[in-house]
Amino acid sequence: MQIAPDKVAIYIRWSTDDQGEGTTLEVQREGCRHYVLSQGWQVRDDLVFIDDGYSGATLERPGLARLREQVCGGRVECVVVYKLDRLSRSVADTARLVMDEWDGVCYVKSAREPIDTTSQAGKMFFYTLMNFAEWERSVIRDRMHAGRLRRAQEGRDPGITLPYGYAKDPHTGAFCAVPHEAAVVRRIFEAYRRGAGLRALANQLNQESVPFRGGRPWQVNTLGYLLSNRAYVGDLVWGLRARNPRSGKRAGEKAVLRREQPLVDRAGVFPPMIDREEFALVQAIKAKRPTVGRGGGRSAASAYLLTGFLRCGGCGRPLVGQHNDPRREGGYYYCCITRRDQGAAACPARAIPCQGLDTQVAAQLMRLYEGEKARLACIHSLDAETGRRADELRAQAAEAGRRLQRLSGTERRLYGDYNAGVLTLGEFRELRSALHEERAALETARQELCAQLEALARDCHDQAALAARAERLRLWDDLTVPQRKHLLREFLQQVTAWKDDTGTTCTLTWRVVTQLRAQTGAVASACTGACAP
């Protein structure tokens, strides 16, 4: 393929990882420009693509995206880079881009390296340089991590996002308090210790126009993180999170993992805003309070037993408690939010008396519990079968892992045969496609096996916990309404209720029985029941 002189593009990339390497944007631009002119080609300003400040760990870069569009459109036949690692520092990404996407369409040449992908020898050298580029990137990453670790151990800034209320002294680099933000932090801790909730605190701060960093409004999660941050007692806690070395290689794996212990836990780094006794008291209060969004908040402390569980059978929105005359017996009701706010035209569901519905749900729970207790021996008898099934699943997952390892070795040999000229490009692509299909099928099968193992483990845990939960039901009559709600949450998932001229109906979905559904049909049959108070 003859390269047209006016279809040559220049690609330049620079990131903070490249400091000290001498590969600045201007150095790269001049080097690529002289190379293009030395080949008798033209330097076109509209075919110069720059990614300033982007890492080579991924192909998701705006400049590279525009270059790929130009190559796909046939307007670029050759891409010139200063060095190969400017294109990408990942061997797999570079191979996928140059040898798959651009193969036969666009060549790659380097201003500083003898790379020419038009020949087999050039392709072999191309693969060798890619491996060195990935090794170099891993060395740079390890050095940067070691430098941050050393700074954290010395009580200096390891490159963290400063907590709200703190800044860095421009002269010494030490952490210092921001007075007006520190006052807000002390106010938040004091208010929470006196009983204020996270949502109420966020609303109050936003109503008073007290801005968070960057002018953003206060959120519940922001306040929860602030109240748990040990920086406010002066401690630097660093290194709890670690990059997953296999991230991106296996589907479903997290990119960041959490360590059990931080790498650095050093006191006296930040100027303390809260004393340790108050901080410990706040953590104890947080541990006792329900989590917002998971059966917590106002519904947990409500005097109505079923708020947080009830859904309207007509519109699907929650039912909330209300009363007409608290001095009269039976004056408490559950009312649909839609009807309360928009009227009967929006939802015709009528208010349901609390006493009858609460009594009926509690009676259903007791009946179900007695049935479950009687079936518990039957469920435990399945433990042996569960263990045998788990052993089979583990063996199948291990075999799938061994087959995946063999496929990796086969793929490496395939690349070697292609580079040595044993395989043609068509044969190489056909064999590699078959390998990728087999790998994808094995990965899917192994994920399904792992999911089945996790389900078995959850079922065994639920069986063991069921007896302990059931024992607490014996105390039902002696519990307060909030205590009953907390216990009910371990059994009850949702109640769908509806009242019209014909009467009241409700459908109850029980959490514990649903979890045990996979093990016994007898248990599953009691999962959903109906009652008419």
Amino acid 375: pLDDT? 52
The secondary structure of 164-210 as a DSSP string is TTEEE-TTT--EEE-HHHHHHHHHHHHHHHTT--HHHHHHHHHHTT-
Q: How far apart are CA 253 and CA 502, in angstroms?
A: 52
485: left (phi over 0), alpha (psi -120 to 50) or beta: alpha
Amino acid 103: pLDDT? 81
Q: 494 to each of 200, 292, 308, 491, how far by Cα in Å? A: 26, 18, 8, 10
The yes-or-no verdict on residue 325 having pLDDT over 60 is no
Looking at the chain, the whole-number percentage of residues with pLDDT higher than 90 is 21
Which two tokens mark 346? 């929006």
CATH number (3.40.50.720, 3.90.1750.20, 3.60.20.10, 3.40.605.10) of 166-288 reads 3.90.1750.20
The more confident residue out of 137 and 348 is 348
Q: Where do we find the tokens 């290194």?
A: 239
Confidence of residue 274 (pLDDT cuts 50, 70, 90): very high
**Mean pLDDT confidence for 110-115:** 83
Topology of domain 8-148, CATH: Rossmann fold (3.40.50)
The yes-or-no verdict on residue 513 having pLDDT over 50 is no
Amino acid 520: pLDDT? 38
Counting beta carbons within 10 angstroms of the beta carbon of residue 515, is it exposed (0 to 12), middle (13 to 18) or buried (19 or more)? buried
Confidence of residue 532 (pLDDT cuts 50, 70, 90): very low
Looking at the chain, the whole-number percentage of residues with pLDDT higher than 70 is 79
H-only helix segments in 51-119: 62-72, 91-95
Please give the single-letter amino acid code of residue 175: F
Question: What 3-state DSSP class applies to 496?
Answer: strand
What are the DSSP E strand ranges found in 72-153?
Answer: 78-81, 107-110
Which two tokens mark 9? 């593009």
Amino acid 517: pLDDT? 41
**Mean pLDDT confidence for 249-264:** 71
230-256 burial: b if 16+ Cβ within 10 Å, else e: bbbbbbbbbbeeeeeeeeeeeeeeeee
For residue 491, the surrounding DSSP H or E stretch is none
The more confident residue out of 330 and 107 is 107
Find the length of the chain.
533
Which two tokens mark 272? 């303390």
Closest by Cα among 113, 95, 108, 120 to 8: 108
Amino acid 228: pLDDT? 94
Q: Where do we find the tokens 């099928």?
A: 441
Amino acid 112: pLDDT? 86
Within 10 angstroms of residue 150's Cβ, the number of other Cβ atoms is 12
Amino acid 21: pLDDT? 58
**Please, what is the average pLDDT of the chain?**
79
Amino acid 133: pLDDT? 66
Tell me, rounded to whole angstroms, the distance of Cα 417 from its chain centroid: 40
The yes-or-no verdict on residue 380 having pLDDT over 60 is no
**Mean pLDDT confidence for 253-280:** 87
The yes-or-no verdict on residue 522 having pLDDT over 60 is no
Confidence of residue 386 (pLDDT cuts 50, 70, 90): low
Amino acid 525: pLDDT? 31
**Mean pLDDT confidence for 101-117:** 83
For residue 13, the surrounding DSSP H or E stretch is strand 8-14
Q: Where do we find the tokens 């008291």?
A: 281
Greatest mean pLDDT among 223-227, 319-323, 441-445, 482-486 lies in 223-227
Amino acid 225: pLDDT? 92
DSSP state of 487: H
Amino acid 96: pLDDT? 80
The yes-or-no verdict on residue 411 having pLDDT over 60 is yes
**Mean pLDDT confidence for 130-145:** 77
Which two tokens mark 282? 């706040």
Amino acid 512: pLDDT? 52
Closest by Cα among 311, 318, 219, 302 to 482: 302
Tell me, rounded to whole angstroms, the distance of Cα 83 from its chain centroid: 35
The yes-or-no verdict on residue 20 having pLDDT over 70 is no
Q: How far apart are CA 132 and CA 134, in angstroms?
A: 5
The yes-or-no verdict on residue 38 having pLDDT over 50 is yes
Amino acid 211: pLDDT? 85
pLDDT tens, position by position, 422-479: 778 778 778 888 888 888 888 888 888 887 777 766 555 555 555 566 666 777 887 8
Q: How far apart are CA 212 and CA 508, in angstroms?
A: 43
Q: How far apart are CA 161 and CA 231, in angstroms?
A: 12
Q: Are strands 492-500 and 310-312 parallel, antiparallel or unpaired?
A: parallel
Q: Where do we find the tokens 């080579």?
A: 56
Amino acid 69: pLDDT? 92
The more confident residue out of 169 and 513 is 169
